[in-house]
Amino acid sequence: MIDIDGVSKSFATKAAGLVTALNTVSLKIPDNEFFTLLGPSGCGKTTLLRLIGGFETPTTGKIRIGDIDAASLPPQKRPVNTVFQSYALFPHMTIAENVAFGLEMRKVPKADIAERVREALSMVRLDAYASRSPRQLSGGQQQRVALARALAPRPKVLLLDEPLSALDLKLRKEMQGELKRLQRETGITFVLVTHDQEEALAMSDRIAVMSAGNILQVGEPREIYDNPQSRFVADFIGESNVIPGAILGRDPTIMVAVRPERISVISAANAGQGRAKGTIASVTFLGLDTLYEVMLDSGSKVRSRCRDAEPSLAAGHSVVVDWPSAVERHLAN
């Protein structure tokens, strides 16, 4: 559905001169996929989304959406719609009128508009709210109206620019499920921009992790989490212990990444050899899990998240930490 080929984007600024926001990015996003661009602020993910939507023009490279060469097309000529962080609902219009507005601008026949509005509001489960005004709705409901308005024109691609950032934690969780349901039911290609790793892991079919205008890794959520290809990805997705290590008979300088939930902490009195010895620096009870910070004898610090923790372990206790070889990852950088 989306084919991005060697796309770069540079901006001229007074302070720093020419700034490169995207550096020769290539990416293919198939039809009917929930795809996420994930990375910290300033990594280029929003610039890439805006290029797909037609709000920016690439400095170099090509963008195809379906069978259309879209690099030079304005937003209204692309089979794409966008949901922004701001709901941007018209306060003087009803919910139905807000959803109909985009259809009217596209000159959809009046006979079809009412049916499309009903269809879109039904998809977001707001059928009963058509005659209300935006101020009568909660933040989560307003976000669903914005989604309905974007879905009503039946785009081939829906772009989502951190649409859940203004919601509280409970509403964000609910809307994550709603977005995934909508993507499955409509079959539309969704492209989400977020800096929230948990949000990306929960909703996406695939994720592109970005940094400094580059795509570092693309893969399914479990692949990205279990097999990070660089230290940045290991650090950014979830939490990792990055520990100096060595491979016998080879260059001794490597870094090993191990997730906290993969590390066991056992009292030194009850343990065998293990991976390393150390002393508990702190213990934090998290309900189902217990989080241990352990200062290893080598000088490194590791964090362990244990489900079946030893109740007697406390700060200052000597322990052995261990993990299976299969869960460690040797990082590229």
* Number of residues in the chain: 333
Say which DSSP state 299 is in: S
Q: Give CATH for domain 241-330.
A: 2.40.50.140
Distance CA 66, CA 75 (A): 15
CA dihedral 95, 98, 101, 103 (to 10 degrees): -60
Q: Give CATH for domain 2-235.
A: 3.40.50.300
* Inter-axis angle of helices 169-186 and 139-151, nearest 10: 20
Q: Structure pTM?
A: 0.86
Amino acid at 202: A
- What does the pLDDT profile of the chain (333 residues) look like in tens digits? 899 999 999 998 887 788 889 999 999 999 999 999 999 999 999 999 999 999 999 999 999 998 888 878 888 888 999 988 787 889 999 999 999 998 888 888 888 998 999 999 998 888 899 999 999 998 888 888 988 999 898 889 999 998 888 777 887 888 888 889 889 989 999 999 999 999 999 999 999 999 999 999 999 999 999 999 998 999 899 889 988 877 776 766 788 899 999 999 988 887 777 888 999 999 999 888 999 999 999 888 999 999 877 788 899 999 999 999 888 888 865
Q: Per-domain residue ranges for the chain?
A: 2-235, 241-330
CA distances from 36 to 194, 212, 264 (A): 7, 17, 32
Partners of 292 in the β-ladder: 283, 304
Distance CA 277, CA 5 (A): 50
Distance CA 190, CA 179 (A): 9
CB distance 245 to 256 below 8 Å: yes
